[in-house]
Chains A and B, each alone.
Chain A
Amino acid sequence: MSAPTATGRPAGSPLRGAAGWANVKGRHLGSVAFFTNRVTGLLLIAYLYLHLGVLYMLTEGAGSWASVLHLFKNHYFLALESLLILFILVHGLNGIRIALVGTGVGVRHQKAWFTAAMSVSAVLYLVVVLAMFGVI
């Protein structure tokens, strides 16, 4: 049996959970920030498992690992990997905003915090992409 909650009502099902937060149509910037953080968080968790799968290749010997490294140098793969950097930047910087706002710091400026976090993410992402593709 689950522990009693503040309301005394039982916790909802995970399915209802996704339906409750995934629809941002007609919502405001705060909801977009919330949605973005959840989606990037889920994608980063998915990447973690993918990463563990790739590391498993090490156990298959040098040949297997060399083929993986060859794939890593492919431009399409690099483009996908740059998205990983974008997700980390967006999730991390928005996470700092949430941590600050969530403990009562700059609550009334939460929209400005989000705009700043996304702007910094965009600039850093651009720098990373240029570096990855050897432009700088």
Chain B
Amino acid sequence: MIAADQQQVCGQQTAGTQKRRFRISRQRHSAVRAHVDEFDVAVGPDTTVLDALREIRTHHDGSLTLRYSCCHASCGTCGMRVNGREVLACVTKLASLRPGPILVQPLANARVEHDLVVDMRDLYDDLEPARRPLIRLDERLAGQEKREPGQPFARYEDCIECGLCVSACPIAGSDSAYLGPAALAAAWRTVAEPRGASPSDVLAWVDDEQGCWRCHASFECTEVCPSGADPASAAMALRRELTKRKLGRLARLGRRER
């Protein structure tokens, strides 16, 4: 169900007397150097970043390219950096930002397609070997035994594939070969609840110098995740599981030697 205030957000709330200056990164594609265009937009108390961007596109510059869909933090398509922080533009109210000009940039650590739109293919490709455990539990478990009601568990089904975690991750920023927090969170979901998949295959996949061991525990992914999926804890859980299995294998080997 969409809350009343979220329905209002979808209605493009920009009518207001206060003006805010937007500094927007413009770039035709990754090969071209980005530049910043400035726009002054009349805003109201409930105006979101997405409202303002749509206002700019409608009344100031029709060539501004952005991506959005649901307007209530479910689809994850409007991820971008606002004043240097990864957010979903649809639920980020301007009133929550510091006074002064607002810098809007595309997500980092992904190729820019145009202005605020980035290429998400690497993220989606990385989710595939994790068996994409992002399908809702009731869809996947139709006709199978379900969990007891009220039993607590973390659900990475809540991941909306927005890519904010990858943008915020300093290691993804350091090395494009790194699997990244979203894929690791999905991998841990499969290990924790295999649903017919092989946890060993997934663990072998992340047991790589560019897999869970590459994470340097900055926890930035968890900080910016808009759906509470906690990818950093998932990466640590994968390491714990791998360490446990490796030590177990070592102990068995030791016993056999004796």
Contact = CB atoms under 8 A, between A and B. Distances in A.
A21 B219 contact: no
B232 A11 contact: no
A51 interface: no
B252 to A, nearest CB: 20
A31 interface: yes
A31 B172 CA distance: 13
Interface in B81-119: 83-85, 109
B179 A31 contact: no
A89 interface: no
Contacts of B168: 27
Judged by DSSP, the binding face of A is helix
B240 A104 contact: yes
Contacts of A98: 216-217
Interface residues of A, number: 30
A63 interface: no
Nearest to A32: B218
A5 B236 contact: no
Contacts of A17: 174-175
A5 B208 contact: yes
A21 B172 CA distance: 9
Nearest to A105: B240
Given A12-B174, A21-B174, A108-B233, A101 B217 contact: yes
Contacts of A101: 217, 236
A9 B243 CA distance: 26
Contacts of A18: 174
B211 A6 contact: yes
A20 B177 contact: no
B219 A11 contact: no
Nearest to A20: B173
B9 to A, nearest CB: 24
B44 interface: no
A107 to B, nearest CB: 5
B245 to A, nearest CB: 13
Contact of B210 (A7, A27, A102): A7
Contacts of A26: 83-85
B223 interface: yes
B232 A6 contact: no
A19 B210 contact: no
A33 B217 CA distance: 9
A16 interface: yes
Contacts of B176: 9-12, 16
A6 B129 CA distance: 10
24 contacts: A6-B210, A6-B211, A7-B126, A7-B177, A7-B210, A9-B122, A9-B176, A16-B176, A18-B174, A20-B171, A21-B173, A26-B85, A27-B168, A27-B218, A29-B219, A30-B218, A30-B223, A33-B217, A101-B217, A103-B236, A103-B240, A103-B243, A104-B240, A110-B217
Pairs of residues from A and B, 5 with the lowest C-beta to C-beta distance, nearest first: A20-B173, A104-B240, A30-B219, A20-B174, A26-B84
